[in-house]
Amino acid sequence: MITPTPARPYTDGAPTERLERAASALTANGFTVEILDDVAAARSRVAALVPAGASVFTGASETLRLSGIDDDINTSGRYEAVKPRVLAIDRATGADEIRRLLASPDVILGSVHAVTETGSLVIASGTGSQLPGYAGGAARAIWIVGAQKVVPDLATALRRVEEHCLPLENERAMRVYGHPSAVNRLLVINAEHVPGRGTVLLLRDTIGF
pLDDT in tens, the chain (209 residues): 444 444 458 999 999 999 999 999 999 999 999 999 999 999 999 999 999 999 999 999 999 999 999 999 999 999 999 999 999 999 889 999 999 999 999 999 999 999 999 999 999 999 999 999 999 999 999 999 999 999 999 999 999 999 999 999 999 989 988 989 999 999 999 999 999 999 999 999 999 99
pLDDT value at position 8? 56
Kindly state the helix (H) or strand (E) to which residue 85 belongs, with its residue range: helix 82-87
pLDDT value at position 175? 92
pLDDT value at position 143? 98
Main-chain dihedrals φ then ψ at residue 107, nearest 5 degrees:
-135, 135
Of 90, 184, 74, nearest to 129 by C-alpha is 184
pTM for the full predicted model = 0.94
pLDDT value at position 149? 98
Question: Half-sphere exposure of 113 toward its Cβ, with a 13 Å CA cutoff?
Answer: 28
pLDDT value at position 3? 47
Ranges assigned E (strand) in the chain: 32-36, 55-58, 80-81, 107-110, 114-116, 121-125, 140-145, 150-151, 185-189, 198-203
Of 205, 197, 203, 209, nearest to 108 by C-alpha is 197
Question: Is 56:79 a contact under the CB 8 Å cutoff?
Answer: yes
- % of the chain with per-residue pLDDT over 90: 91
CA angle 203, 208, 181 (to 5 degrees): 145
The domains of the chain, with CATH numbers, are 16-203 (3.40.50.10420)
Can you name the residues that pair with 189 across neighbouring β-strands? 121
pLDDT tens, residue by residue, 17-45: 999 999 999 999 999 999 999 999 999 99
